[in-house]
Amino acid sequence: MIAPSGPPSGLWLPLVTPFRDGSIDEVSLRRLLRHYAGQPVDGLILAATTGEGMTLDDDEVEQLVMVTAQALQQGSVPRPLYLGLSGSDTRRLVAALARTADWPIDGYLIASPYYSRPSQRGLLQHFGALADSTARPIMLYNIPYRTGVNLDTATILRLAEHPNIVGIKDCSADTLQSVELLHRRSRDFAVLTGEDTFFYGALIRGSDGGILASAHVHTRDFAALRPTILSGDALRASMQWRELSDIARLLFAEPSPAPLKHWLWRCGLIDSPEVRLPMTAIDGALAIAIDRRIARSTTEA
């Protein structure tokens, strides 16, 4: 584990979970980890949305964490490792925090309860109970178009007062709310966008980085965008984003992570583009479009 050195920032990767014949593909997982060990990634998140976490059983999540932690320990550059959690039963999530208390992870990314649509008071008590149940840092995950409930700014700011709640993955899809949060938050509370196609705009408005599935590909280019913006070179940043935004749109043309897994498979980083139901493989037209974009990337390199 890595001792906290401040709020999360930069480029974080919500790692895909490679499958082969219905099981976690450890060979491909280790290959991915070797690859990203050489990329400018500031942190990894396992078993979240991109990692198909809701299709993993408890043993598979532990397998994923142990293999990844071992690989990270062998790398020359330490990176924080967060575990994605979600659910609508506060008691079960408290139990999950207890079950993973001695796992080699550095923190958690925890989504709002889905389907039950609790009040803001319920959300405040839910996340407060979770933060009280662990000594590790927690990043909130606000994604109302998946969960059916929005963490409003006032609730987020109240939760940010808890010493264990260090930031948020912001997928509110509400620019006004995101701007208000960035304006009112304290500097020790991180705001990272989780909307790949909004990455440029989020950085321009002052976000601390992004948790981006698209950054599995062209990782160095995604990582370079924030330093360019911070340097004040707006023209160069807009040119950088022009190419990256097309990639982000392509990778979300069908439900993620199927398009991304196809790309990684075609590049030889994973041995199969397999996803678990209810996710399905991408259709032929999108596969052709991705293959053409890969070929273009190879030519440009």
For the stretch 192-206, pLDDT in tens is: 999 999 999 999 999
Catalytic site residue 261?
A: no
Catalytic site residue 141?
A: yes
Could you give the angle at which helices 234-251 and 284-300 cross, rounded to 10 degrees? 150
Q: Is-contact 44 82, C-beta < 8 A?
A: yes
Q: Of the residues 36, 82, 108, 169, which is catalytic?
A: 169
Q: Is-contact 121 156, C-beta < 8 A?
A: no
Alpha-carbon dihedral 247, 248, 249, 255, rounded to 10 degrees: 120
Q: Which two tokens stand for residue 183?
A: 């304006």
pTM reported for the whole predicted model: 0.96
Q: Is the pLDDT of residue 7 over 80?
A: yes
Task: List, for residues 101-132, the tens digit of each pLDDT value.
Answer: 999 999 999 999 999 999 999 999 999 999 99
Task: Give the per-residue pLDDT at 77.
Answer: 75
User: What percent of the chain shows pLDDT beyond 70?
Assistant: 97
Confidence of residue 217 (pLDDT cuts 50, 70, 90): very high
Q: Is-contact 195 171, C-beta < 8 A?
A: yes
Kindly state the average pLDDT of the residues 67-71.
96
Measured CA to CA, the distance from residue 154 to residue 67 in angstroms comes to 39
Helices (H), 46-104: 58-74, 90-99
Confidence of residue 301 (pLDDT cuts 50, 70, 90): very low
Measured CA to CA, the distance from residue 301 to residue 297 in angstroms comes to 6
Q: Of the residues 141, 145, 200, 261, which is catalytic?
A: 141
C-alpha separations of 259 from 11, 185, 279, 282, 287 in Å? 20, 35, 11, 6, 8
Measured CA to CA, the distance from residue 236 to residue 102 in angstroms comes to 45
Terminal Cα distance for the chain, rounded: 36
User: Mind listing the domains of the chain with CATH numbers?
Assistant: 10-233 (3.20.20.70)
Q: Which two tokens stand for residue 136?
A: 């590790």
Task: List, for residues 72-83, the tens digit of each pLDDT value.
Answer: 988 777 899 999
Task: Give the per-residue pLDDT at 114.
Answer: 95
Kindly state the average pLDDT of the residues 220-227.
98
Residue that is written with structure tokens 């039963």 in the block: 89
C-alpha separations of 56 from 24, 62, 82 in Å? 9, 10, 16
- Sequence-distant (6+) residues with CB within 8 A of 151 are 112, 120, 123, 140, 142, 144, 159, 168, 172
Residue that is written with structure tokens 């020359």 in the block: 76
Task: Give the per-residue pLDDT at 5.
Answer: 65
Q: Is-contact 52 276, C-beta < 8 A?
A: yes
Q: Is the pLDDT of residue 148 over 70?
A: yes
Task: Give the per-residue pLDDT at 1.
Answer: 64
